[in-house]
Structure formats: structure tokens, C-alpha cells
Chains A and B, each alone.
Chain A
């Protein structure tokens, strides 16, 4: 991790820290009153927590808990952490709630019917139903790690920051040092700006016509075409789920290929 420090004024310090994890880059800007060491400790804690979550949930790391499940024989229960069990249980709930559009067992070439039970979760055990099941938490792990990072900051009493996990999951905590909330614009459409305050902006989709990386669980096909979908939510995990659901819902529309973005929807109605 690398860090840059800046003094905002006589009372306030700022740190910008960045590192690569989860096959993407993490950028953190935090500010607070008091010593810079406190901010430095906070970003280091976030990095450690992010790497811990990656070791738990990445399918690309051969010794992760998820890899142990994926490598085990179908039907054979694998003992994993309560934390992973809880995350997988929530993923199964999301699958049911969104008609199968969010499915961490989605795999190219395999159509996953909603009524099909592909994963069994009974803490502390998880088992795959058959050989076609491969857990891939890419659709929610960054959001989950982002929520954990925000939680760490709040516990440490740091109430302001902008946290980007791969640019696709961006949490704005508290306020910019010079304004209320944080202003975030989209890289591909800088005129599209979002004012975020204790909210997460999540974007899913294909930013170019040639990029294809999201499998439609119900068809088993990679979704093609330049198109993105964004949502603003209270949590990173929820944002990742809903942006994928929105992207896949859009993909069923006839205008999908003609309309690069559908606009952002706010799902976090403020009281």
C-alpha cells in the first residue's frame, strides 16, 4: 500500500492510500482531525481486512475457503467460517428475491433455473449440488469488503472519507472537507454526477463494446454490448447485487444495445 498525506488546515489531516487487491485497485481518501498516524492506521487496517476477505472469498486464490468448496466433490460438505456461511446464505436469499438474476453459482454455458438448489449452506458446512456449480463471489465480494471497511472506520471514529473498490463500488462516508457529502462523476460520462452522503454508488456492466464478463444466470450466456447500470444504496454489498440485477434486467430490453447507460437509480430513500 502507498500513502500520501496532506494537511487540510491546522486541525485536519488527509490521507490518500491505494493498493491492489481482489484483482482490482482500492483507493481510499480519509480525513479527520488529529494525528496523521490515526489515519495511517485506519487505511492499514482496511488493507488487512480487504486481504483477509480476499483470502476467504476469492475463487482465484487456490487456498481460499471458496476454492476449497469449489474443489471439493459435489455433495461433500466443506467446513468453512461462519462469516462465509453467512455471506453465502445472504447470496442465496438475493437469488430468490431477484428471480435468479443474482446467482453466485452462475457459470457460462450453464442455465440455472430458480427452483434448482445449487448450493447447500448449513453453518458451518457448505456443499455444491453438482459439478456445474462453481461459487464466484466477484459480484458481491468487493461490496462486502467495502462495507467492512466503512464499519472499521466508524468504529475508529473516522467519519469522513471516499472509498473506491475498483471504481465500481464507491462509498462516500460523511463529507468532503470543503462541502457537504461527496461529488462523484462517472469516468465515461463526467457530466453525470452524484452527490453521495453515507451512500454507495455501484456500477455494473460493460464499459466497452468488446468487454463481456457477466454471465446471465438464467441463460448461461455472457451478456454482450456496451451498457452499464448504476445504483445508489446504503451498503456496498446491496449495491453490487442490485446493479447486477438492474444490468441483467436491462439486457432483456430491446433498447439495451442502443443505450449505453440507463441512468442511476437511488434505492436508498432518505427519511
Chain B
């Protein structure tokens, strides 16, 4: 039997066909691809600021995109430049990001520097008239995030933040199901990311802080800004609500190696309805990995695993296969006919794959394609920046709650006109 996979091309094809009424309602930022058939003759010239490991990872996708050309690189760490040049050998190299921003040959910039550098670079990039892709977390403080967001609005430049789940077919598909009520009322989200490593890169002492910036408070807010930021956004996407309170605790319990960021954190985010989203991360045990368990009255979603489960009668495996076949243009027989099904023959609840099979890639590639399309069309996709703004805001407020060991309420002055939030221009 023919087996088809849900390739990006197929996914995009589906988006093009189905976009207007179906997935767009849950993921309006997919409008970025609305004109992708008409933009093949364009090429966006991109500069990379901080092409370290994450920057090179993003470059590996951009170099495969015929509509993107990496024309400039900027870093103060030569080994990063050397590696990045292997991916973009014709790129001009800068030591100062301001010089890269002055380069008129650069249309858009990608910022993948340590978190504490994002603000000044992002503001400068937008002021220089460049479209901007900034890795998450958007900025080191909520006030900075707000300023960058407002700068994006006032300059009209494109702004994307590296929240790849927004473009992950698993998440897009299952959020549609959640919003359709397939899993009933969502009353809890349990997000976590567990690792078992010191998160430290090899570096001589004089370069330790530069290379291991994630471990030091002056550069990063550790697990909250480097890991939680991705996952907290799942909660607002699923519930279409911003939680207004957060409490939690953080500590260094295992990696007592001179780092100043926590290696053990727990937060509780509270939505106005009383629904809670918990977030835990430790980096001294990896058994449970990472997940955002979305708990509904009719079912459970584990988007990272790519699966969902129903509380009572499961969907029939043969029928799930049938609809997956249909999605993949396959006309084939499904084996289920026989003598009458009896309840006692029901098996253990193993769940179903959201896309019909185990996930193999996240949304990074599509996210970068969307950015390139947005730069070409000069149309900011709806809600993509607001979702990212709030992901950053929630991770920063969570960190504040850990630091201050108190319940932190979302400050009114940093609210946007988004979902359950209303912006008050008098406050800011």
C-alpha cells in the first residue's frame, strides 16, 4: 500500500487550499504563506547577528530557501564566524552589528545573540529599517519587550520571534481540534522540560561568560527564558487567554558550579477563570523529557509526543487510519469489519498520533519560510508577534515570581490589545 508523509509541501498545499476557513482561525499567522506562489522571483538578503550554534541552526534552513540569501554575518567570536561561513561563504563579515545594520544590501536581520543583547540590537535594527527575526526570548526585561513591540508597530517593520511551535504542523492541527471542542473544556496545562546535563559549553576561563551566557543572570534568566518561553505560549494558544498571575520557586539544587541561574524551577500560572498552567524544569533528570500536557474534559493532548487521548471511548484505529489516508490522498481498504464489537474487547488507551505518525520535525523551517514570505510581501502576519510577545512576557514574569517569591500580577502598563488584555495608553 502507498504510504504518504505529510511533507511540508503537502502541508503548505493544504494550507493554501484550506487556509481561509479552517486552520487560519486557530493559527492566523499562517496567512504569511498566502502569496507564496507569487514570490518565487524575490530573494530576501539577510544578515545574521550572532551566528553561534542556534544561529547556524537557523542558517541551515535559510540556506535551503531559494527566496533567502545570507549576505552578512556579525560576531565577535571568530570560531562562530568560521563555522557560519561554511554555510554562507559569500557573506560579508562584520565585527560590529551597527556596521551590518548600515549595510544597505541587507533587507532583514536575524538576531541570535545572548538574551541581554537583544534589546539594543532589535531596537537598532528596526530603527535602521530592517525587518527582524529575533530569537526568543524577545528581551531581557518586560519593559524592553514592550518597547521593541511598540517600535515594530511604529516603524511598520516585520517582526518575528523564534517561537517555532506556532508553525509546527502538530501544534497547528491539534490547536484547531482544541478550539473545535474536540477535547472538551481545557482546565489544566502541565508543561515541563527535563534534561540531565550541565548546559555548559567548553570554553577557556576568559571566554566562559561569553560562551556560557545562559548560566549567568546578567545575560539570561536561565530555564525560564531559554526553555519555558517556548512552552508557555502553548497555554495561551490553546486557551486563547493570557494568565494574569504567576507564582513559583526556583533554586540551584544540583549544578553548583558557579552558575547564577536556577537549575530547578516550578511555576504556577493562573488564568482569570481559575484554570492553571504549571511549568517545571530540572536539569538533573531527563526521564520525562519535555511536554505540554493539555488536559480537557473529554481528552488529553501531548503535542510534543504528537498524540492525543480520549477520556472514554477511543477512536477506532481503523477509522483514524482511514481519515489519515484521506488526508494523504490514499484510497485504500481499512480492516475493521467483522463480528460485533464488544466493550470488553477495548484495549489500553494508547492514544492517536495527531498527524497519523510519530513527529519528525518541529516548525523551525516553516517559521523561517514564513518570515521570508512576510519580508517579501511586507505583510506582518496576524497575531504572530503578539503570541511571541506574551510568551516572552510570561517567561519573564515567571522568573520575577521565582526571584521575589511572591505572586506576580501581569502589569497593566505592559498589556497589549490582545485576547483578554486591553492596552491602556495612559499607562504607557
Contact = CB atoms under 8 A, between A and B. Distances in A.
A73 B21 CA distance: 60
B342 interface: yes
A36 to B, nearest CB: 8
Interface stretch (A48-56, A107-115, A123-131, A203-211): A203-211
Nearest to B310: A2
Nearest to B319: A27
A18 B323 contact: no
Given A4-B177, A4-B323, A16-B315, A184 B333 contact: yes
Binding site secondary structure of chain A: strand
A2 B337 contact: no
A184 B22 contact: no
A4 B182 contact: yes
A3 to B, nearest CB: 7
A14 B326 contact: yes
B327 to A, nearest CB: 6
B219 interface: no
A185 B342 contact: no
A177 B324 CA distance: 12
A187 B336 CA distance: 4
B337 to A, nearest CB: 5
Nearest to A179: B331
A230 B336 CA distance: 13
Interface in B319-350: 319-320, 322-323, 325-327, 329-343
A178 B17 contact: no
Given A25-B316, A166-B341, A168-B338, A6 B333 contact: no
B417 interface: no
B32 to A, nearest CB: 18
B341 A25 contact: yes
Contacts of A164: 316, 319, 336-337
Nearest to B308: A4
A204 B18 CA distance: 41
A2 B298 contact: yes
Given A20-B313, A25-B313, A176 B337 contact: no
Most central of A167, A179, A201 by chain B CB within 10 Å: A167
Contacts of A206: 339
Most central of A27, A190, A204, A206 by chain B CB within 10 Å: A27
Contacts of B315: 2, 4, 16, 18, 27
A8 B326 contact: yes
B331 to A, nearest CB: 3
A167 B334 contact: no
A263 B23 CA distance: 44
Interface in A28-44: 29, 31
A271 interface: no
A258 interface: no
Contacts of A63: none
A24 interface: yes
Nearest to A205: B339
Contacts of B78: none
Contacts of B312: 2, 20
A167 B323 contact: no
A2 B313 contact: yes
A116 interface: no
Nearest to B332: A183
Contacts of A6: 323, 326-327
Contact of B319 (A29, A168, A185): A29
B180 interface: yes
B14 interface: yes
A31 B323 CA distance: 11
Interface in B275-316: 298-299, 310, 312-313, 315-316
B341 A168 contact: yes
A167 B332 contact: no
Nearest to A202: B337
A162 B319 CA distance: 9
A194 B23 CA distance: 35
Interface in A186-218: 186-188, 190, 193-194, 201, 203-207, 211
Contacts of A179: 331
17 contacts: A2-B298, A2-B310, A2-B315, A5-B182, A6-B323, A7-B22, A9-B17, A16-B320, A16-B323, A24-B341, A25-B313, A31-B326, A164-B316, A164-B336, A167-B336, A185-B333, A201-B337
CB-CB nearest 9 A-B residue pairs: A179-B331, A183-B333, A185-B335, A185-B333, A190-B335, A7-B18, A178-B331, A168-B340, A187-B338
Interface of A: 2-10, 14, 16, 18-20, 23-25, 27, 29, 31, 142, 162, 164, 166-168, 170, 176-179, 183-188, 190, 193-194, 201, 203-207, 211, 228, 230
Given A23-B342, A228-B338, 18 more contacts: A4-B323, A6-B326, A7-B14, A7-B23, A14-B326, A16-B319, A18-B313, A24-B342, A25-B313, A25-B343, A29-B322, A168-B337, A168-B341, A186-B335, A186-B337, A187-B336, A203-B338, A230-B337
